[in-house]
Structure 1
Amino acid sequence: MANFWTYGLVMLSLWVGLQHAAVAIDTTVKITPDVVYGHKDGLAMTLDVFTPTENPNGAGVIFIVSGGWYSQWTPPEKLHGMLKPLTDAGYTVFAVRHGSSPKYGIPDAVADVRRSVRFIRLNARQFGISPARLGVFGISAGGHLSLTLGTTGDDGLIKDSDPVNRVSDRVQAVVAFVAPTDLTIMVREAKDRLPAYNRFPALDLDLAAAKKLSPLFEVSADDAPTLLLAGAKDDLVPIAHSQKIKAAFDQTQVPSRLMEFPEAGHGLPPADMKQAVEEMLNWFNKHLAQPTS
Structure 2
Amino acid sequence: MQPALGPLPEAWRAAEVIPLWTGAMPESGFKAHPVPADSPGTFLRNIETPAMRLFRPARPNGAAVLVIPGGAYDFISILNEGVSVAENLTAKGYTVFVLTYRLPGEGWSHRADVPLQDAQRALRTIRAKAADFGLQQGRFAVLGFSAGGHLAATLATDFGQEVYTARDATDRLDARPDAVGLIYPVITAKPPFTHGLSAERLLGTRPTPEAIARRSPADRVTTATPPTFLVHSLDDGAVPVENSLLMLEALRAAKRPVEAHFFEEGGHGYGLGAPEASTGHWIDSFDLWLQRVFATPPAPVSDRD
Mapped partners of 2:11, 2:194: distance in 1: 43
Q: 1:72 to 1:155 in 2, by over 3 A?
A: closer
Match of 1:66 in 2: 70
Mapped partners of 1:203, 1:174: distance in 2: 23
TM score, norm. by length of structure 2: 0.75
Deviation at 1:230, TM superposition (A): 0.6
Q: Name the aligned partner's letter for residue 91 of structure 1.
A: Y
Deviation at 1:153, TM superposition (A): 2.4
Secondary structure, aligned partner of 2:261 = strand
Q: 1:81 aligns with which of 80, 84, 101?
A: 84
Q: 1:214 to 1:199 in 2, by over 3 A?
A: closer
Secondary structure, aligned partner of 2:96 = strand
Is 1:50 the counterpart of 2:33? The answer is no
Match of 1:33 in 2: 16
Match of 1:96 in 2: 99
Checking the alignment, whether the CA contact within 8 Å between 2:72 and 2:198 is kept in structure 1 is no
Match of 1:217 in 2: 219
Deviation at 1:198, TM superposition (A): 8.7
Deviation at 1:34, TM superposition (A): 2.0
Checking the alignment, whether the CA contact within 8 Å between 1:156 and 1:167 is kept in structure 2 is no
Match of 1:139 in 2: 145
Deviations 1:77-134 (CA, angstroms, capped at 9, x unpaired): x953332221011110000111124214332111111111111111111121123210
Q: 1:199 to 1:109 in 2, by over 3 A?
A: closer
The answer to which structure has the higher helix fraction is: 1
Mapped partners of 1:101, 1:107: distance in 2: 8
Q: Name the aligned partner's letter for residue 58 of structure 1.
A: G
Secondary structure, aligned partner of 2:98 = strand
Secondary structure, aligned partner of 1:130 = coil
Runs ≥4 in structure 1, deviation > 4 angstroms? 22-26, 73-76, 192-196
Deviation at 1:267, TM superposition (A): 3.4
Q: 1:68 to 1:128 in 2, by over 3 A?
A: same
Superposed, 1:160-199 pairs within 5 Å as: 160-185=166-191, 192=192, 197=197
Q: Name the aligned partner's letter for residue 106 of structure 1.
A: A
Checking the alignment, whether the CA contact within 8 Å between 1:12 and 1:82 is kept in structure 2 is no
Checking the alignment, whether the CA contact within 8 Å between 1:46 and 1:97 is kept in structure 2 is yes
The answer to which structure has the higher strand fraction is: 1
CA RMSD of aligned residues (A): 3.4
Q: Name the aligned partner's letter for residue 55 of structure 2.
A: F
User: When the two structures are aligned, how many residues end up with a matched partner?
Assistant: 264
Mapped partners of 2:94, 2:281: distance in 1: 19
- Counting aligned pairs with the same residue, the percent is 24
TM score, norm. by length of structure 1: 0.78
Mapped partners of 1:259, 1:72: distance in 2: 24
Deviation larger for 123-132 or 196-205: 196-205
Deviation at 1:287, TM superposition (A): 1.6
Deviation at 1:140, TM superposition (A): 0.2
Q: 1:154 aligns with which of 147, 157, 160?
A: 160
Q: Name the aligned partner's letter for residue 66 of structure 1.
A: G
Deviations 1:47-98 (CA, angstroms, capped at 9, x unpaired): 111111x32111100001332113448589x953332221011110000111
Q: 1:240 to 1:259 in 2, by over 3 A?
A: same
Q: 1:130 aligns with which of 123, 133, 136?
A: 136
Deviation larger for 60-69 or 90-99: 60-69
Mapped partners of 1:210, 1:59: distance in 2: 34
Q: Name the aligned partner's letter for residue 64 of structure 1.
A: I
Q: Name the aligned partner's letter for residue 35 of structure 1.
A: I
Mapped partners of 2:181, 2:4: distance in 1: 15
Q: 1:23 to 1:289 in 2, by over 3 A?
A: farther
